[in-house]
């Protein structure tokens, strides 16, 4: 039995072979796609194994979902890109978020006539939970935020505006620029804002303040109370229930959201 | 202040907001904390504080860390405060704004008042301890028992132990799941690297690769959720899956489209289709990619993007000229129309009626009167 691969001759031959492989490596051959297809099958079975052990975790633990999403993002994978993706099919993440997307759209649509298409994340959370009923899994606000991010793809439809301690979710493509956003943030405290408050707090000219408030009015995001003592007040229905929830009892809140 | 951890401020499952108060400044013991004024939020599980100017700066502490708290009345030039005494931070605490502190208490300074109500609610939550009934799903630090003068009946200890065991078990399950997840991610990363290498070669047009193979490659990317850097003119990001979907959609949407005047917003289509499916739902991207294929597959539907960014699916039979002509007729007949009135007339959504009017305006057939009372359109007599 002679030993193989030893000796100067063998080493030289090996180097030659490696060089040849390197050269071949720069040219795409069918082999690489076939290789990928094989690796994909292997990966799929690993994923299946993972799913059989931990699928419950994804459903039950919103923190696990957060971690999972962040890991995927780090390696450059979007588990929610397609319902046909492995992640979606085997771990069930897809259906969870896509259905949430449907519920979010429906809540926003139902309230649009009142809020003009603007709603706080808190109220959205509240209403979505209510709509899901007693036996469905609960969702966290992080889940909502991720579902909304996916919905953006459907044509400029959703934006999240940071306001106060949380966010406003905008579900209609009203054009809101920085000025409008800042005015909304100013109104967050009391649910309304006046021209004077804007000129005083933000140091804008009166005309700019009027223009911005006028736009909000036109888009149906603000209502005008021209009979208020002092000067007219621009109220934002999107912020209403945020305010009143601090002063009314839980029972009253429940009745309000049943409206 | 070293008990706080960084947080994204979003509520967990089972966690609800109790009260929030603006204008709160934090104190580390008696010293002002190196943070600006922010919003303090009390939930059933945690005390959260977020910087009002810098939204990224958000910290939280579980209510279970609180031993006791008391009010500190306002003085001359001093706001009212709530002083909160805390347990030591657990060993496995996540990082926060302070590495360590010589104080074991913090203060919330209420620069815009609200301390009375906040104190009341805090008292209520600390009595009810709702976080114990419905543990927020993040692993909480090991259960801490208040030592400040509370007596406990025997028997509750057994229940507490059970809750603690369950929590440990959940933690164990989760950490095992995380371990397995990490291993899985390593393998997934290899797939990503391989696909990048292939994609680069396709882009550089090295080697021989057929249309069919490109389509197959795209479907692999789809399965893994890897973004597709390679687009061919014929099918865009489409794969066989999307072609099948396009056909299904074309069949399914015919009737609803006709009922709705030939046009539906894509968000509406998304809800309609997924509600009908019930299971194996489409992702928003699936829907968009399938709709993009209508034209090349010669279906009588089109995906259309308006200037505002709104996306709709519309029936081919409803040609542009027809829509504009009928819009002009309606406006002329009524003298003038707003989007809301037009919507009522046609039985369309306000959003889509507005788009039609805007389109007619763009073609010069109607013009607008834009006032605070709303946007109204008139026939263009210029």
- Residue B188 touches partner A, C-beta closer than 8 Å: yes
Give the per-residue pLDDT at B48: 93
Give the per-residue pLDDT at B36: 86
Buried b (16+ CB within 10 A) or exposed e, B170-203: beebbeebbebbeebbeebeebbebbeebbebbe
Task: State the Cα–Cα distance between residues B64 and B145, nearest whole angstrom.
Answer: 8
Q: How many percent of chain B have pLDDT more than 70? A: 88
Confirm if B371 and B382 have CB atoms less than 8 A apart.
Answer: no
- Residue A81 touches partner B, C-beta closer than 8 Å: yes
Give the per-residue pLDDT at B274: 93
| Lowest mean pLDDT segment, chosen from A193-207, A244-258, B23-37 | A244-258
Of A28, A57, A74, the CB nearest to B198: A28
Q: Do A218 and B372 touch (CB under 8 A)?
A: yes
Residue A19 has pLDDT above 80, yes or no: no
Of B345, B350, B344, the C-alpha closest to B310 is: B350
Residue B97 has pLDDT above 70, yes or no: yes
Quickly state the pLDDT bin for B149 (edges 50, 70, 90): very low
Of B17, B185, B310, the CB nearest to A156: B310
Confirm if A47 and A87 have CB atoms less than 8 A apart.
Answer: yes
Give the per-residue pLDDT at B154: 45
Residue B157 has pLDDT above 70, yes or no: no
Instruction: Quick: pLDDT tens for A122-152.
Output: 889 988 988 887 767 778 898 999 999 999 9
Chain A residue whose CA is closest to B137: A61
User: Is residue B142 classed as helix, strand or coil in its secondary structure?
Assistant: coil
Give the per-residue pLDDT at B155: 63
Give the per-residue pLDDT at B374: 75
Across the range A30-38, mean pLDDT stands at 80
Interface confidence: ipTM more than 0.90 = no
Across the range B342-370, mean pLDDT stands at 83
Of A155, A162, A217, the CB nearest to B55: A162
Instruction: Quick: pLDDT tens for B241-273.
Output: 888 899 999 999 999 988 887 888 899 999 999
Residue A66 has pLDDT above 60, yes or no: yes
Give the per-residue pLDDT at B59: 92
Residue A259 has pLDDT above 70, yes or no: no
Task: State the Cα–Cα distance between residues B378 and A148, nearest whole angstrom.
Answer: 37
Give the per-residue pLDDT at B138: 46
Quickly state the pLDDT bin for B233 (edges 50, 70, 90): very low
Average predicted confidence (pLDDT) for chain A? 80
Chain A residue whose CA is closest to B241: A84
- Residue A232 touches partner B, C-beta closer than 8 Å: no
Quickly state the pLDDT bin for B190 (edges 50, 70, 90): confident
Give the per-residue pLDDT at B249: 93
- Residue A201 touches partner B, C-beta closer than 8 Å: no
Question: What is the nearest CA distance from B317 to chain A, expressed in angstroms?
Answer: 23
Instruction: Quick: pLDDT tens for B22-73.
Output: 899 999 988 888 888 999 999 999 999 998 888 888 999 999 888 888 888 8
Give the per-residue pLDDT at B112: 87
Give the per-residue pLDDT at B231: 52
Task: State the Cα–Cα distance between residues B33 and B26, nearest whole angstrom.
Answer: 6
Task: State the Cα–Cα distance between residues B291 and B355, nearest whole angstrom.
Answer: 19
Give the per-residue pLDDT at B260: 80
Average predicted confidence (pLDDT) for chain B? 81
Q: Do A75 and B241 touch (CB under 8 A)?
A: no
Instruction: Quick: pLDDT tens for B359-382.
Output: 888 888 888 888 767 788 888 887
Give the per-residue pLDDT at B144: 40
pTM over 0.80? The answer is no
Identify which has the larger pLDDT, A77 or A157.
A77
Q: Do A106 and B271 touch (CB under 8 A)?
A: yes
Instruction: Quick: pLDDT tens for A69-86.
Output: 888 888 888 899 888 888
Chain A residue whose CA is closest to B226: A77
Contacts of B51 in chain A (CB under 8 A): none
Across the range A92-118, mean pLDDT stands at 88
- Residue A207 touches partner B, C-beta closer than 8 Å: no
- Residue B205 touches partner A, C-beta closer than 8 Å: no
Question: What is the nearest CA distance from A8 to chain B, expressed in angstroms?
Answer: 34
Give the per-residue pLDDT at A258: 52
Residue B276 has pLDDT above 70, yes or no: yes
Chain A residue whose CA is closest to B201: A28
Give the per-residue pLDDT at A242: 60
Note which residues in 265-304 of chain B have CB less than 8 A from chain A: 265-267, 270-271, 274-275, 279-288
Note which residues in 90-149 of chain A have CB less than 8 A from chain B: 94-95, 98-99, 101-102, 105-106, 122, 125, 137-142, 145
Supply the DSSP symbol for B236.
B
Across the range B144-164, mean pLDDT stands at 55
Give the per-residue pLDDT at B49: 93
- Residue B67 touches partner A, C-beta closer than 8 Å: no
Give the per-residue pLDDT at B150: 40
Q: Do A84 and B223 touch (CB under 8 A)?
A: yes
Q: Do A141 and B11 touch (CB under 8 A)?
A: yes
Of B39, B220, B270, the CB nearest to A36: B220
Note which residues in 82-111 of chain B have CB less than 8 A from chain A: none
């Amino acid at each position: 039995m002679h030993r193989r691969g030893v000796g100067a001759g063998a080493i030289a031959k090996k180097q030659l072979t490696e060089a040849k492989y390197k050269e071949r490596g720069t040219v795409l051959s069918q082999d690489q796609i076939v290789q990928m297809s094989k690796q994909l099958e292997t990966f799929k079975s690993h994923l299946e194994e993972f799913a059989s052990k931990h699928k419950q975790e994804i459903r039950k633990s919103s923190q696990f979902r957060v971690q999972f999403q962040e890991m995927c993002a780090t390696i450059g994978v979007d588990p929610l890109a397609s319902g046909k993706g492995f992640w979606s099919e085997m771990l069930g993440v897809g259906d969870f978020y896509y259905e949430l997307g449907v519920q979010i759209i429906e809540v926003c649509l139902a309230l649009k006539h009142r809020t003009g298409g603007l709603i706080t994340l808190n109220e959205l959370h509240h209403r979505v939970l209510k709509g899901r009923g007693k036996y469905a899994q609960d969702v966290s606000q992080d889940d909502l935020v991720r579902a909304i991010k996916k919905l953006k793809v459907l044509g400029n439809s959703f934006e999240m505006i940071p306001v106060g301690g949380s966010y406003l979710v905008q579900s209609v493509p009203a054009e809101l620029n920085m000025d409008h956003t800042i005015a909304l943030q100013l109104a967050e405290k009391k649910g309304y804002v006046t021209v004077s408050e804007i000129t005083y707090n933000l140091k804008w000219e009166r005309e700019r303040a009027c223009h911005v408030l006028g736009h909000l009015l036109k888009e149906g995001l603000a209502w005008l109370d021209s009979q208020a003592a002092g000067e007219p007040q621009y109220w934002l229905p999107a912020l209403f229930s945020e305010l009143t929830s601090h002063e009314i009892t839980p029972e009253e809140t429940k009745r309000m959201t049943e409206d | 202040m070293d008990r706080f951890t960084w947080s994204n401020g979003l509520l967990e499952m089972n966690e609800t907001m109790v009260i929030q108060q603006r204008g709160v400044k934090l104190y580390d013991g008696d010293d002002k904390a190196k943070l600006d004024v922010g919003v303090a939020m009390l939930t059933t599980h945690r005390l959260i504080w977020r910087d009002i100017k810098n939204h990224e700066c958000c910290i939280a502490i579980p209510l279970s860390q609180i031993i006791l708290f008391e009010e500190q009345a306002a003085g001359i030039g001093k706001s009212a405060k709530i002083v909160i005494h805390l347990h030591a931070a657990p060993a496995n605490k996540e990082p926060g704004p302070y590495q360590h502190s010589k104080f074991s208490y913090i203060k919330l300074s209420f620069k815009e008042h609200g301390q009375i109500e906040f104190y009341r609610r805090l008292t209520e939550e600390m009595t009810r301890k709702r976080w114990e009934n419905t543990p927020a799903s993040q692993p909480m630090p090991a259960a801490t028992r208040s030592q400040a003068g509370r007596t406990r009946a025997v028997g509750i200890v057994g229940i507490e132990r059970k809750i603690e065991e369950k929590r440990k078990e959940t933690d164990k399950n989760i950490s095992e799941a995380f371990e397995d997840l990490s291993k899985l991610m390593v393998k997934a990363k290899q797939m990503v690297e391989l696909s990048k290498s292939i994609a680069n070669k396709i882009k550089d047009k090295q080697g021989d690769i057929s249309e069919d193979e490109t389509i197959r490659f795209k479907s692999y990317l789809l399965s893994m959720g890897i973004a597709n850097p390679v687009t061919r003119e014929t099918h865009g990001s489409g794969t066989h899956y999307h072609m099948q979907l396009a056909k299904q959609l074309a069949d399914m949407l015919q009737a609803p489209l006709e009922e709705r005047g030939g046009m539906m917003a894509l968000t509406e289509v998304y809800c309609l289709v997924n509600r009908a499916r019930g299971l194996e739902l489409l992702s928003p991207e699936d829907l968009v990619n399938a709709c993009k294929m209508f034209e090349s597959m010669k279906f009588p539907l089109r995906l259309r993007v308006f200037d505002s960014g709104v996306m709709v699916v519309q029936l081919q039979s409803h040609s542009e000229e027809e829509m504009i002509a009928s819009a002009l007729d309606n406006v002329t007949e009524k003298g003038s129309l707003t989007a809301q009135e037009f919507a009522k007339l046609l039985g369309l959504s306000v959003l889509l009626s507005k788009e039609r009017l805007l389109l007619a305006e763009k073609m010069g057939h109607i013009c607008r009167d834009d006032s605070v009372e709303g946007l109204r359109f008139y026939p263009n007599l210029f």
